[in-house]
Amino acid sequence: MKIDQGIDMYSWMVDLFPICRSITGPGVRKTLKYISKILPEIKVLEVSTGEKVFDWVVPQEWLIKEAWIKDSDGNLIVDFANNNLHVVGYSEPVNCWLDLDSLKKNLHTLPEQSDSIPYVTSYYNPTWGFCIDYEQFQSLNSGKYHAYIDSEKVNGVLNYAEFVLQGESEKEVLISTYICHPSMANNELSGPVLAIALARWLKSLTTRKYTYRFIFVPETIGSIVYISKNYKHLKSNVIAGYNLTCVGDNRCYSYLPSRNGNTLSDRAAKYALEKANCEYIEYSWLDRGSDERQYCAPGIDLPIASIMRSKYGEYPEYHTSKDNLEVVSPEGLSGSFDVYKSAISAIEDNIKPIANILGEPQLGKRGLYPTISSKKSADSVALMMDLLTFSDGSHDLLSISKITKAPIEDLLSIAIKLESEGILTINT
Amino acid sequence: MKIDQGIDMYSWMVDLFPICRSITGPGVRKTLKYISKILPEIKVLEVSTGEKVFDWVVPQEWLIKEAWIKDSDGNLIVDFANNNLHVVGYSEPVNCWLDLDSLKKNLHTLPEQSDSIPYVTSYYNPTWGFCIDYEQFQSLNSGKYHAYIDSEKVNGVLNYAEFVLQGESEKEVLISTYICHPSMANNELSGPVLAIALARWLKSLTTRKYTYRFIFVPETIGSIVYISKNYKHLKSNVIAGYNLTCVGDNRCYSYLPSRNGNTLSDRAAKYALEKANCEYIEYSWLDRGSDERQYCAPGIDLPIASIMRSKYGEYPEYHTSKDNLEVVSPEGLSGSFDVYKSAISAIEDNIKPIANILGEPQLGKRGLYPTISSKKSADSVALMMDLLTFSDGSHDLLSISKITKAPIEDLLSIAIKLESEGILTINT
Amino acid sequence: MKIDQGIDMYSWMVDLFPICRSITGPGVRKTLKYISKILPEIKVLEVSTGEKVFDWVVPQEWLIKEAWIKDSDGNLIVDFANNNLHVVGYSEPVNCWLDLDSLKKNLHTLPEQSDSIPYVTSYYNPTWGFCIDYEQFQSLNSGKYHAYIDSEKVNGVLNYAEFVLQGESEKEVLISTYICHPSMANNELSGPVLAIALARWLKSLTTRKYTYRFIFVPETIGSIVYISKNYKHLKSNVIAGYNLTCVGDNRCYSYLPSRNGNTLSDRAAKYALEKANCEYIEYSWLDRGSDERQYCAPGIDLPIASIMRSKYGEYPEYHTSKDNLEVVSPEGLSGSFDVYKSAISAIEDNIKPIANILGEPQLGKRGLYPTISSKKSADSVALMMDLLTFSDGSHDLLSISKITKAPIEDLLSIAIKLESEGILTINT
């Protein structure tokens, strides 16, 4: 397996992993700054605290400098400096002594995964708390503890970024990914690094039929911001798109449909997964859980689907400290890159051939048909004949591929040859 | 199982069982009079002998006082006073002596159910006859017999009744049942008694969205009369409905679709049967056999389906003297009541939610979302989120329930809460 | 099995088998002349060499008088006089001495079917060659060989024929078959002889609803000629049709759909095959290979399907010297005749009944219903009631037959009876 792309993507993840991201604040900015070094064309945008976006209000920035729990002897029990999951995301500041029972009310654990620190946030209700593994939780001795969180919420901005790669057409493919989780590998960073790799690949192409819009947003609030600011444009132009998340591990593939279920994005995703010739899990819209919730909401209804490796919520490391750089791999990322490349290529190549000639064309005189007709001679041109018979204006290449099981690139090259012979017209 | 309703229904059947009903005449009137004691609002209507209704003519009334067969010694062999199935329904009068062979030509039996008296009628061809069990038939000695039927056909009326229970909307749910079989429990009386119980329940409700039209008619000719007199009204107003028959035994459930097969009645019936969590037999329109034949006839096409227990024609006691009070039970009737109540409630509650907000609403600020976001926190609000994602104007609660497997009442209460928060609008 | 038709058809095949047909020339003319003796009404038509038809040009006639290979001792090794498959169809003339290796470059064999002479043509690329069985090929000794083909290509005509049998309606059923293969029994002559038999049967009928258009054409180029000359007429008038080929052996049946897949032809074909109560192979449009390729091409889209016995390309003797009179049989032909007769009858009888009466009609007063109503009395009229319930203007007899499993002729006779009673109207 070719994993060059995977090695690059993995190395970016290594750099981005330690940053303490949240939905707003310096972590997001650091992340976008890093991305802009690889993809200098990205445009970093912002929206101010307090601005209304659809039903939501842009929250304050959360600034955190230091956070720990010490025992009565001054020993460090928990330190945010060691793992940024240790503090509940968006925690209020605190500085107090508590006995063990009171402390425990502000500790979050995962008893069923006792060696993992859970990832917990409280964006819309002021509170404070620490997250630790259950083994440590159980080993805590009674006594007094000093809980200290030096955090602050301030008016500022919510940052996000977009990168628009112009194509021949104004019609767009939207690639969205999120940048708001702290140290989380599969369920966060795999998305942005794949987005970068896909953007780099698409940039390298000499021509692109469609325009590509990459967006890097905090999950939920960020996609809501983005849609609210670009609603008309997206509704008019987006013909397909994907939400990139959980694309880094090397287990199975997964497919989550758009709400509609049969958009161009869905058809291309299923085509690419079938072509990859690997088993994959087909989820239903009921299993949604990321920004497709916004993109496909009633009245928004953009054609956004997801191809994933292990889907969020479905693998044990999800939303724990174990969703780290060991869960993901260059191979896993590379596989996702290949499948998305295949899906995007299918969208690019998904032309509609329309026959110019009534009846079968005389292919022999054009050197396109075996000159000797014997028992099986027509087999060699079967795919060309199948393409022709479905060049009726109601089949695009995705549907012809579904019928014939042929790869779209093979169909496209036949269509181009036949167009050059004047036999059919390619409609894009 | 709560069977209070079943006990009431069963007791009404006990009272109604002995009456010798036919499609016209005093039996129908007695039956309607009894019903009007429990349901005083019913309006008893009549149409005169000889009146043309669609392709049919209202038949004369059949009056029968006495009927028997005696042997040459004057011993009573068969006596209508013992069982009103003994005489072929609508028999001509007769008073003659016959030898055994001639008598047998006028005797109806069921050789394959030798201890049962068959139920036989001849409404549209004048004839006379007796029905006896096959065991008795075989035991008859040769000799002379005296056959005597004191019956008469006279111009009169065909009676039927309706009870309209006004709701907030002029749109109606039609509940039809028949009152023309003599002593027959499952395939007759179970229908009217369930209709009464459902009417009593619906009356007890403080509000009803829809208007309910209960009709009690002789089968076939009665429904034809009713449709012919109310065609325009029914076509304009009936949005759902059921034909109640064979709802009294305690065996499986059955479902017979409307001719269309996918009306609101069909969808609600299947919802209620699935919710009852019992196996049921799904019949096809080819298995029809009661008044749905008229309600769903081409050009009439009302949305009338049937939920039954053991379907007519499919259980051994059908149309014999064994379809008596032993076949039916309070439990059986009560189960039917519950399933119909569930189907009717589903129709009442089947609103269509339409989102007022683009993107997901911010539920947290309304106290509708867990404030702490951790690994599985969204599970608790999954159904609310599912309702919201399908609040697109093309899904009603029956279809959302089919997708989510959630009971309609749960979906409705979520919808009401979300409407009160201004998040969606409920369309009825 | 009644095989009278089969015996006639087989005897015509015996006569036609030896003729050396090609897509043009005297073989086609001899064949059409023979057909015109049995079916004097056929109109033999011609189109000149060089005429443009859609994307094609009518080819020259190929005249062949003699062809052989002799060894250096003058022994006849291969002689066209023994089997007209020995010469590659449309071969150029040749007269030369070659050594074995050079000769072999112009010999065609079937190593995997070593005792069969392959059928090979080269219509659109000038070349010459002989076809022999592989056993003979391997037994050839080295040495010099004399290859001699006395053939000629001359300007002339392409012949084809049509036979139009007028019906009550201008709407047409098209029956097409081909006449361009030399001695080939199943994959050629079975088609024309079945066409003749079907024409003879249809002629014998006193009335026909539809007009029948039989055409006898060289495969591919002939159907293209025919469509190009009759495009508008065919598009306006043809409501159904079949391409007759491979209908002579006595193995399984096969069905190849039209490109559309659900035309009247397809529905009638599947009806007839189901009714024949035999297993059959249902192919897909991807398996097409005969003139349906032209009739169903984009923009032409006539409703042409095929019922076959062993499909071309799928049985071992196909396109070899073994596709001879032993592969086909009177029984095989007769079976095909019966299935096509059944399909065509279904098309003729496929009326649409529309009820004239609201509600069920009172059938008793018309003597159409059992006068005594007992437990199972309605069973005898179930089919009549089913026909009535679907007489709603959206079901034709093919669809009612599919629902009820009843033969169309039974449904039609019921519909006629009910029409005579004024109960329904038959729409054709």
- What are the sequence ranges of the domains in chain B? 4-59+157-349, 61-154, 352-427
Q: Which residues contact C230 (CB under 8 A, 6 or more apart)?
A: none
Quick one: which of C25, C350, C328 has its CA closest to C160?
A: C25
Residues 6+ apart with CB under 8 A from C332: C6, C190, C247, C248, C249, C250, C251, C309
Say if strands C144-154 and C157-165 run parallel, antiparallel, or are unpaired: unpaired
Position B280 pLDDT exceeds 50: yes
Separation in Å, CA of B262 to nearest CA in chain A: 22
C91 vs A269: CA distance, rounded Å: 51
| Topology, domain C4-59+157-349 | Aminopeptidase (3.40.630)
Indicate the residue of C56, C118, C299 with minimum beta-carbon distance to A375. C118
Please name the residue of chain C whose CA is at the shortest distance from the CA of residue A387: C286
* Residues with Cβ within 8 Å of residue C139, at least 6 apart in sequence: none
Smallest CA-to-CA distance from A248 within A337, A183, A317 is with A337
Under an 8 Å CB criterion, which residues of A touch B? 54-57, 88, 108, 110, 118-125, 127, 220, 223-224, 227-228, 231, 259, 285-286, 288-289, 293-294, 296-301, 313, 318-320
> Which helix (DSSP H) or strand (DSSP E) does residue B173 occupy?
strand B172-178
Average pLDDT score over residue span B85-105: 96
In this complex, which of C224, C299, C319 lies closest to A355 when CB atoms are compared? C299
Give the other-Cβ count within 10 Å of B427's Cβ.
11
Instruction: State both tokens at C166.
Output: 């007028």
Are residues B325 and B17 in contact, defined by beta-carbon separation less than 8 angstroms?
yes
Q: Is the pLDDT of residue C109 over 90?
A: yes
**Inter-chain CB proximity B124 and C371 less than 8 Å:** yes
For residue B1, what pLDDT is reported? 45
Q: Which residues in chain B have Cβ-Cβ distances shorter than 8 Å to A57?
A: 362
- End-to-end CA separation in angstroms for chain C: 33
Q: Which residues of C touch B (CB under 8 A)?
A: 354-355, 357-362, 364-365, 369, 371-376, 378, 385-386, 388-393, 403-404, 423
Q: What is the reported pLDDT for B375?
A: 74
Closest CA to C304 of C238, C252, C348: C238
For residue A9, how far is the Cα from the chain centroid? 14
Q: Please say if the pLDDT value at position B3 is more than 80.
A: no
B161: confidence class by pLDDT, cuts 50, 70, 90: very high
Task: State the nearest Cα–Cα gap between A373 and chain C, in angstroms.
Answer: 5
Q: Are C170 and C208 a contacting pair, CB within 8 Å?
A: no
Of residues C106, C118, C120, C122, the one with CA closest to residue C59: C122
Helices C26-38 and C190-204, interaxial angle, to 10°?
30
Q: Could you tell me the sign of the dihedral formed by the alpha carbons of A321, A324, A326, A327, in that order?
A: positive
Give the model's pLDDT for residue A180. 94
Residue B359 has its nearest CB partner, among A122, A123, A294, at A294
Cβ atoms of C160 and C222 within 8 Å: the answer is: yes
d(CA C177, CA C89) in angstroms, rounded, equals 20
pLDDT of amino acid C67: 97
Taking a C-beta distance cutoff of 8 angstroms, is the pair A264, A347 a contact? yes
Q: How far is C299 from chain A (nearest CA, A)?
A: 6
pLDDT of residue B278 exceeding 90, the answer is no
Asked whether B109 and B133 are in contact (CB, 8 A), the reply is: yes
Which of B119-123, B216-220, C279-283 bottoms out in mean pLDDT, i.e. has the lowest?
A: B119-123
Q: Is B243 left (phi over 0), alpha (psi -120 to 50) or beta?
A: beta
CA separation for the pair B388, B357 (Å, rounded) = 10
- Tell me the pLDDT tens digit for each residue of C203-257: 999 999 999 999 999 999 999 999 999 999 999 999 999 999 999 999 999 999 9
Q: CB–CB of C248/C329 below 8 Å?
A: yes
Torsion of CA B281, B286, B292, B293, to 10 degrees: -160
Chain A residue nearest residue B392, CA to CA:
A298
Strand B253-256 relative to strand B280-282: parallel, antiparallel, unpaired? parallel
Q: B335-382, pLDDT tens digit by residue?
A: 999 999 999 999 999 999 999 999 999 998 898 988 887 777 778 799
Name the pLDDT band for B2 (thresholds 50, 70, 90).
low
Using the beta-carbon criterion (under 8 Å), do B373 and A120 form an inter-chain contact? yes
Which chain B residues have a beta carbon less than 8 Å from that of C422? none
Question: For residue B320, what pLDDT band results from cuts at 50, 70 and 90?
Answer: very high
Q: Spelled out in words, what is the top-level CATH class assigned to the domain C61-154? A: alpha beta
Whether the pLDDT of residue A136 is over 60: the answer is yes
SS3 state at C366: helix
3-state secondary structure of C401: helix
- Residue located via tokens 């959302």: B400
Is B272 in a helix, a strand, or coil? helix
Give the pLDDT band (50/70/90) at residue C1: very low
Q: Give the C-alpha separation, C123 to C24, whole Å.
A: 10
Question: pLDDT (tens digit, 9 = 90+) per residue, C365-376?
Answer: 898 988 887 777
Q: State whether B360 and A294 contact (CB < 8 Å).
A: yes
| Confidence band of A2 (pLDDT split at 50, 70, 90) | low
Residue A336: the pLDDT is 97
Whole-angstrom CA distances from A306 to A6, A176, A227, A284, A336 are: 19, 10, 18, 11, 11
Copy the structure tokens of residue C360: 């069920």
End-to-end CA distance of chain A: 32
CB C368 within 8 A of CB C282: no
Candidates C354, C368, C373, partner chain B, best to mutate (most B CBs within 10 A): C373
**Facing residue for A359 by CB, picked from C120, C121, C224:** C224
How would DSSP label each residue in A63-104? EEEEEEEEETT--EEEETTT-TTSB-BTPPPEEEEEEHHHHH
Q: What is the pLDDT of residue A1?
A: 45
> A26-38 and A4-16 are packed helices; what angle lies between their axes, rounded to 10 degrees?
150
Distance CA B60, CA B50 (A): 7
Contact C298 A393 (CB under 8 A): yes
Which of B211, B144, B204, B183 shows the shortest CA–CA distance to B317?
Answer: B183
H-helix or E-strand containing A349? helix A330-349
- CB spacing of C360 vs B224 below 8 angstroms: yes
Choose among C85, C99, C179: nearest CA to C140: C99
What is this model's ipTM?
0.93
Would you say B108 and B136 are in contact if contact means Cβ atoms under 8 Å apart?
Answer: no
| A354 vs C contacts (CB less than 8 Å) | 298
The stretch A188-217 carries a mean pLDDT of: 97
Mean pLDDT of chain C: 95
Q: How far apart are CA A387 and CA C107, in angstroms?
A: 33
Instruction: Give per-residue pLDDT as tens, B41-85.
Output: 999 999 999 999 999 999 999 999 999 999 999 999 999 999 999
Instruction: Give the span between the Cα atoms of A216 and A210, in whole angstroms.
Output: 19
Name beta bridge partners: C157. C48
Mean pLDDT of chain B: 95
Same fold, C61-154 and C352-427: no
User: What's the confidence (pLDDT) of residue A124?
Assistant: 80
One-letter amino acid for residue C65 of the chain: K
- 3-class DSSP assignment, residue C293: helix
Q: Provide the CATH number for the domain formed by A352-427 in this structure.
A: 1.10.10
Q: What is the mean pLDDT of residues C101-118?
A: 96
Least confident of A321-330, B371-380, C91-100: B371-380
- Is the pLDDT confidence value at C10 over 80? yes
The reply to whether residue B286 touches residue C392, judged by beta carbons under 8 angstroms, is: no
Residues forming a β-bridge with A179: none
The predicted pLDDT at position A262 comes to 97
Contact C213, C175 (CB under 8 A): yes
> Is the Cβ–Cβ distance between B177 and B244 less than 8 Å?
yes
What is the predicted pLDDT for the residue at C2? 58
First to last CA, chain B: 33
